[in-house]
């Protein structure tokens, strides 16, 4: 009970800081002017024996200080302001909440390492089927050629020679040498153009023997 302490004449007054190293929190009592360490209480568990609240006040606590040589002592500390006492309590709670979270994450990681590993490899004789949409199957040969327009009888025809005039009565002269367009084979039917038709055999002047006078 804090009422049993000599609160009017404290043995020491200064500042209190809470620090942490790893999973251990440290309550440090320091001189408020020089920062010299007066006493330190390592806390490995909260709530625990290292720091306890009194039964008759929320501003006073009993902490277990250590000097590093194995000697320990229990001393009572109190805060003038109730808000400072609340912050002290919350700082310890937050630290050990973080410790529990780290311990849980480490345990889950260990369980994953020790658990069975997922084997994604194909077993012997195992097959897989893929269904790809909008895929057209090629029919016929491996390649497709572009069809050419065919003339009568299935033969490819060459375009008319340059210089020809339509509707003038002139006919193009036959080729003396065969010409070939790119990609067009030369056949016997392409070596010459059609010959002009023979003139009519009838005499255009008429029969003079039958003319009168």
Q: Measure the CA–CA gap between 50 and 79, rounded to whole angstroms.
A: 18
Distance CA(211)–CA(213), nearest Å, equals 7
Cβ atoms within 10 Å, residue 88:
19
**Do 43 and 25 contact (CB within 8 A), yes or no?**
yes
Distance CA(117)–CA(11), nearest Å, equals 62
- Residue 148's contacts (CB-CB under 8 Å, 6 or more residues apart) are 156, 184
Do the beta carbons of residue 12 and residue 5 sit within 8 Å?
A: no
User: What angle (nearest 5°) sits at the alpha carbon of residue 106, between those of residues 102 and 107?
Assistant: 115
Which domains does the chain carry? 2-114 (2.30.29.30)
The low-confidence residues of the chain, meaning pLDDT below 70, are: 115-119, 134-213
| 187: Cβ contacts below 8 Å, ≥ 6 apart | 155, 156
Measuring CA to CA, which residue among 15, 61, 19 is closest to residue 43?
19
Q: How far is 3 from 55, CA to CA, in rounded Å?
A: 10
Phi then psi dihedrals of residue 84, to 5 deg = -65, -40
Would strands 15-21 and 24-30 be described as parallel, antiparallel, or unpaired?
A: antiparallel
Phi, psi values for residue 93, rounded to 5°: -65, -40
Give the pLDDT of residue 19: 94
Residue 151: what pLDDT? Answer: 53
Q: What is the pLDDT of residue 62?
A: 95
Q: What is the CA radius of gyration of the chain?
A: 56
pLDDT at residue number 86: 94
pLDDT of residue 152: 54
């Amino acid at each position: 009970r804090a009422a049993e302490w000599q609160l009017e004449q404290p043995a020491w007054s200064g500042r209190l800081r809470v620090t942490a190293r790893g999973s251990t929190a440290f309550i440090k009592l320091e001189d408020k002017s020089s920062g010299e360490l007066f006493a330190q209480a390592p806390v490995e568990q909260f709530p625990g024996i290292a720091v306890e609240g009194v039964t008759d006040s929320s501003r006073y606590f009993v902490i277990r200080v250590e000097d590093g040589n194995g000697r320990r002592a229990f001393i009572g500390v109190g805060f003038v302001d109730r808000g400072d006492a609340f912050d002290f309590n919350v700082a310890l709670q937050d630290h050990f909440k973080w410790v529990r979270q780290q311990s849980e994450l480490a345990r889950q990681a260990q369980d994953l390492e020790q658990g069975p590993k997922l084997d994604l490899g194909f077993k012997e004789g195992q097959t897989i089927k893929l269904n790809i949409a909008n895929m057209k199957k090629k029919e016929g040969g491996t390649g497709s050629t572009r069809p050419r327009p065919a003339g009568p009888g299935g033969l490819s025809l060459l375009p008319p020679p340059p210089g020809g005039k339509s509707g003038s009565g002139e006919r193009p002269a036959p080729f003396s040498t065969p010409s070939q367009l790119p990609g067009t084979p030369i056949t016997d039917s392409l070596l010459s153009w059609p010959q002009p038709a023979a003139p009519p055999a009838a005499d255009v002047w008429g029969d003079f023997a039958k003319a009168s006078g």
